[in-house]
Structures are given as C-alpha cells and as structure tokens.
Amino acid sequence: MPEFHRKIERSAIGFVLAIVVVSSIGGFIEIAPLFTIDETVEAAPDMRVYTPLEVAGRNIYLREGCYACHSQMIRTLRDEVERYGPYSLAVESKYDHPMLWGSKRTGPDLARIGGKYSDAWHVAHLFNPRDVVPESVMPKYGWLQRNTVRTDDLGEHLAAMRAVGVPYTDEMIANAGNDAFGQASPDSSFAAGVSERYGEATQVRMFDGNPEQVTEMDALVAYLQIIGRLTDVAHKQAALAQEGAK
C-alpha cells in the first residue's frame, strides 16, 4: 500500500484523476436516484396542471417569499399526518418548478390547504392576518387586492413550464391570458374556455369578491385553493392503508 501511494503521488495526472474519482463517489450516490425517477415516482394519470391564473398566483407566492415561512411538505410522521392530512407524495409536486417543499415553518404547512377554508377567509386573512387570527405574526398583503394581475406574459410562463415537462398544449399557451381572466370572472364569456381546457373540476370563481378587475389577490387565492388538489392520489393511498388496517 505505501509503495502504491508513493507511486501515484509522484504522477501528477494520475493523482488528479484519483482525486476526481474519489471525490465524485458522494456526488454520484446523491445523483443516482434521479436516473430512475420515472420509475420511482408514483403514477397519477388523472393529474391536472396549474391553470394560468394559478401559475400567476404561484409566481406571486414565490415573489413574496411565502415559502420562507410555509412548507408544502407533510412528512411521514404521525403528528403531521394527524394535523394536516395524508403525507405528501413525490408525484404531487411533479408540476412544481421549482418545488416549494420549504424547510421552515413559521406558519403552518400548506400542502393540504386547498379547499380547507373559504375564499373570503383567505382574502380577509391576507388583507390583515390579525383580523381573523389575533395571534398571527404574518405580514399583511392587502395591496395584492389593488394590483391588477399581469396576464400578458402568462403564455410565456406556460411555455417555460412546458420546456421542463409540464404537458401544456399549444391551445392552453395561446389562450393563457384569456383563461386567467376567465377563471376569476365566472360571468364573462372567457369562463367557459377555462373549464373546457383545464377540466370541469377547475374552480371558476370570483376569488377576491371584486367583480371589476382580476387582481393579484384573485391569483394568489386561486393558487392557495388548488394546493394539494392537482391529484387525489395521496388521499386514495391513505384510504387504502386505513382499509388494510381494518
């Protein structure tokens, strides 16, 4: 052994190569699971994609740094499952680019927040969290209600998502702006197209209670109301496990 080491130490190229090989072992072990990701992520054939309004809301969620205080990842721990619902599956963040699992909870986990509370509550809470939860330390986001949401670039956002594997169709990309408007304006002529392109289960509502304009509040609430509901595979799996237990 010392003889081998003496020999390799004296050959510059050989020694550099040896260093590269040894230091890449750890990296390779970390990367290896990604090569088989298609086989290891659960199947969810019924999974829908984010609508343009939800994409806009998700971008606001990113812009405001909501992920710094709210995780979107229910771990496989008893107390988390009892409080928040079925634990998160990999497939549920399949269309999240980047994923928003987060690593810190100043506020509660949001992985199952969709449909848990009413739109009116979300608006009141974002406007001033202390109005509904007196002990909250969350900042106010009332100004979202005054900002009209930018829809002209949503087609490009969808195209970018398609480039990394989200199955948006050409039609969805071409109509992105109209669909974003339609989803928050149930009485408009654009509303029908949203359900047609994104499925009947899509929530077409006036999210912020203001019929006159589509605001950033509309977009953010639309996104909050769809978190965890792109697919119900986690709920199905939990129900199966429960039946198995009986």
Partner 1 sequence: MDIGERDPVTGQMTTGHEWNGITELYTPIPRVVIFFLVLGTLFSIGYWLLMPAWPLGTTYTKGLLGLDQKTQVEQQLELASAERSAWTSKIESMDFAAILADPALMTIVNQAGSTLFKDNCAVCHGTSGTGSQGFPNLTTKSWLWGGDPQTIFETVRVGINSTHPDTRVSQMLSFGRDGVLERAQISDVVSYVQSLGGVAGEAAADSESVARGKDVFSANCVACHGDDGKGKPDVGAPNLTDAWWIYGSDRQSIFATIFNGHQGHMPHWEDRLSNTDRKLLTLYVLSLSEKKT
Map the footprint of partner 1 across residues 71-90, applying CB under 8 A: 76-78, 81-83, 85, 87
Q: How far is the CB of 87 from partner 1 (least distance, A)?
A: 7
| Contacting partner 1 within 213-242 (CB under 8 A) | 235, 241
Under the criterion CB under 8 A, does residue 117 sit at the interface with partner 1? yes
How many angstroms separate the CA atoms of 138 and 108, rounded?
Answer: 11
Among the listed ranges 32-40, 162-170, 181-189, 212-220, the one in contact with partner 1 (CB under 8 A) is 32-40
Separation in Å, CA 103 to CA 72, 136, 137, 164, 172: 9, 20, 18, 24, 33
Distances (CA, A) of 113 to 48, 131, 136, 213, 221: 17, 19, 17, 25, 11
Report the nearest approach of partner 1 to the CB of residue 13 (Å). 26
By CB under 8 A, is residue 3 in contact with partner 1?
A: no
Neighbouring C-beta atoms of residue 189, cutoff 10 Å: 9
Q: Name which of 44, 59, 64, 56 is nearest 98 in CA terms.
A: 59
243 is an interface residue for partner 1 by CB under 8 A: no
CB of 222 to partner 1, least distance (A): 15
Residue nearer to partner 1 on the CB measure, 13 or 25: 25
Q: Which DSSP state fits 215?
A: B
State which residue, 10 or 170, has the beta carbon closest to partner 1.
Answer: 10
Biggest alpha carbon–alpha carbon distance for the chain:
83
Q: What DSSP state is assigned to residue 6?
A: H
Min CB(226)–partner 1 separation in Å: 13
DSSP at 41:
S
- Whether omega for the bond prior to residue 98 falls within 30 degrees of 0, making it cis, is yes
Query: Exactly one of 63, 121, 142, 169 binds partner 1 (CB under 8 A); which one?
Result: 121
Q: Which residues bind partner 1 (CB under 8 A)?
A: 29, 32-33, 35-36, 39-40, 76-78, 81-83, 85, 87, 115-121, 124-125, 131-135, 235, 241, 245
